[in-house]
Amino acid sequence: MKVEHTRPTLSLATLLLAGLAPIAASANLYPEHIQGVTLSVEQGIYTHAVVLKNTAASKQLDALQLQPETSHVSVDAYGLVSCAADNDVEFDRARAYFGPVSLFLDSVQSPQTLFDAAYQPSHTTGKGNKRLTEAGNPGPFNIPLSAIKQGHPAVRFNPVEELNKKLQQHLNQGGSEIDFYRQDHYITVDRTLSLAGWCKDTSNNTSRPAAVSIPLEMTVIYQGDPALIAPVKLSAQLASTPMPDQVNQDLPFALNAATFQPNMPHYIGRCAPESDPVIRINYSGNGKGLIRFMVEDNGNPVYGSSHIAYDSALNHNAHLDFSYPLVAKLAQESNSGWDTLNQTFSHPLSIKASIKDEQSNTWSEWKTYGNANWNHRCVPQVTVKPAGGMGGFLNGQQPAQPVPGPSRVQPDNATPPRDRIQPPVPPETAPLRIRAVEQEPATLQKR
């Protein structure tokens, strides 16, 4: 056990050389037990990274298998729990969390966190000249990837999902899937790391907490596979059936493919949401004509599009954004159980389409194309103060702000006008960071 008689102090230059994230200090509700908690993480180039690789034996693009090299993310966290300046008060315990936390009465609230575990930070106890700091943080905080893949979009970290988001942007800009997977990609996102510490008054055996949350930069590194082989395209005249991605203006109009986006945006949040979740359909075909789409949930229609003009010569790969009517569905008496907290409801969605060639006056029969399961789950909401604040309080009526969806454009001449079409979401911009000097939190006056 390492014991120091003075609390360690770090200059700004030391922090910059050490490559630490800005240290955030918590306020607390119980100055008679605990002065506060500070937390920082090691910073560098792709420090908290997950590497994705193609592990398929076949180099065909259709056989692509993405797997992370490790099953967890290791975070080098540095925490300090400073107990009240009283010889009867001693350090009790500490816990690290992936996600935001807040304080409510005598407890730490963590309904949005996806993983937590016991952690041993440094801690300061004693009084006057007998203030002692015992060193901690002996090892990294290991976060299993399997535990943080599902949850609120602002909290969860799913490497494959983040790569799919970038793939969707690449396709929207006219790029090809084969070129995307042949190249390396680096995707950085901000998530939240939290630390809670408890100090105990041995005179009455009561333990009280303080907590802090800080930004955690995480990176997905995809190692491109230049040996990937694109699917072979057969001549449409030689093929007995139309081939996906085959463009030939001499053939009658055909819709070759219509699939849901690869990163299906499951809804996890408040009930009822302020707006309906948006889901994308990607489609492609041959020739020129009109398309009308219908989306069914377990065989029941939930969306119908207007007549969409399509010309494969101008834009072979196209997309359509539609809103799943979750707000209306939750309000229906027949779906009264859909707002059960922490219960996942799976919706088997299917895409149907009918087409009409520009030279024809007759619509084709409805044909089923892509299928996917879409989930929704209601979770309790917690208002969380920014890092360094007093901490949030449990409030079922004032949930955290939802992640904004894309802006919406109303299609013309909808028959019937059952929903809205939306353009793609612009890429997010990571916030700037300010590095701060570590210092022991000031003692608050007793209440």
- Stretch among 102-106, 192-196, 221-225, 254-258 having the lowest mean pLDDT: 102-106
What is the CB neighbour count within 10 angstroms for residue 341? 11
Which of the two residues, 401 and 277, has the higher pLDDT score? Answer: 277
Q: Are residues 173 and 255 in the same domain?
A: no
- The confidence score (pLDDT) of residue 83 equals 93
* Region 418-422 average pLDDT: 46
Per-residue model confidence (pLDDT) at position 406: 45
* Angle ∠(441,443,446) on CA atoms, nearest 5: 145
Binned at pLDDT 50, 70 and 90, residue 362 comes out as confident
Give the total residue count for the chain. Answer: 447
Kindly tell me if the per-residue pLDDT of 407 is higher than 50: no
Residue 29: its pLDDT value, please? 66
The total number of structural domains in the chain stands at 2
pLDDT at 415 over 50: no
Domain boundary (192, 222, 252) is at 222
| 265 and 185 assigned to the same domain | no
Let me know if residue 363 belongs to a domain. yes
* Domain shared by 268 and 200, yes or no: no
What pLDDT does residue 6 have?
A: 32
What residues have CB less than 8 Å from 76, skipping those under 6 apart?
41, 42, 47, 140, 141
Residue 443 counted as domain residue:
no
Q: Is the confidence at residue 397, as pLDDT, over 90?
A: no
The total of other beta-carbon atoms located within 10 Å of residue 121's CB is 23
Identify the weakest region by mean pLDDT among 86-95, 190-199, 229-238, 267-276: 229-238
Q: Range with the lowest mean pLDDT among 163-172, 285-294, 422-431?
A: 422-431
Would the pLDDT of 234 be above 70? no
Same domain, 54 and 104: yes
441 domain residue, yes or no: no
Angstrom distance (rounded) from CA 160 to CA 53: 10
The mean per-residue pLDDT over the stretch 414-431 comes to 46
pLDDT at res. 233 = 55
pLDDT for position 13: 34
247 against 294, higher pLDDT: 294
Q: Which of 86-95, 164-173, 381-390 has the lowest mean pLDDT?
A: 381-390
pLDDT of residue 94 exceeding 90: yes
Whether residues 77 and 137 fall in one domain? yes
Under the banding of pLDDT at 50, 70 and 90, the label for residue 194 is very high
Write the pLDDT tens digit of every residue in 252-289: 788 988 999 988 889 988 887 888 999 999 999 888 89
Query: Cβ contacts of residue 213 below 8 Å, gap of 6+?
Result: 24, 100, 101, 192, 193, 194, 384, 387
Q: What is the mean pLDDT of the chain?
A: 79
Question: Mean pLDDT over residues 205-212, rounded?
Answer: 92
Query: Residue 323: which residues within 8 A CB-CB, separation 6 or more?
Result: 275, 276, 277, 278, 279, 303, 408, 419, 420, 422
pLDDT at residue 22 in the model: 56
Last residue of a domain, one of 196, 222, 248: 222
The string of pLDDT tens digits covering residues 152-166 is: 888 999 999 999 989
Residue 445 covered by a domain: no
pLDDT the model gives residue 128 = 83
Rounded Cα distance between 135 and 126, Å, is: 15
pLDDT tops 80 at residue 88: yes
Residue 104 has pLDDT above 50, yes or no: yes
Q: Let me know whether 211 and 290 are in one domain.
A: no
Q: Which pair of tokens denotes residue 58?
A: 């076949």
Q: What is the pLDDT, as a whole number, of residue 218?
A: 94
118 and 80 belong to one structural domain = yes
> Are residues 211 and 245 located together in one domain of the fold?
no
**Residue 364 maps to which CATH number?**
2.60.40.2550
24 alpha carbon, distance to own chain's centre = 23
Is residue 4 within 8 Å of 135, Cβ to Cβ?
yes
Among 222, 255, 270, which residue terminates a domain? 222
Centroid of chain to Cα 401: 14
User: Would you say residue 109 lies in a domain?
Assistant: yes
Domain extent for 289: 240-427
Q: Widest CA span of the chain, in angstroms?
A: 92
Q: For residues 53 and 193, state if they share a domain.
A: yes
**Domain shared by 143 and 29, yes or no:** yes
- Report CA-CA distances (Å) from 241 to 238, 244, 256: 9, 10, 10
Does residue 402 have a cis peptide bond before it, meaning omega lies within 30 degrees of 0? Answer: no
Q: For residue 442, is it within any domain?
A: no
* pLDDT value at residue 73: 94
Q: What is the per-residue pLDDT for 57? A: 86
Q: pLDDT at residue 399 above 50? A: no
* Whole-number percent of the chain with pLDDT over 90: 43
Same structural domain for residues 377 and 280? yes
Let me know whether 218 and 278 are in one domain: no
The pLDDT confidence band at residue 237, using thresholds 50, 70 and 90, is very low
- Least confident segment among 235-244, 310-319, 379-388: 235-244
Residue 359 lies in a domain: yes
pLDDT, residue 279, reads 95
Tell me if 245 is assigned to some domain: yes
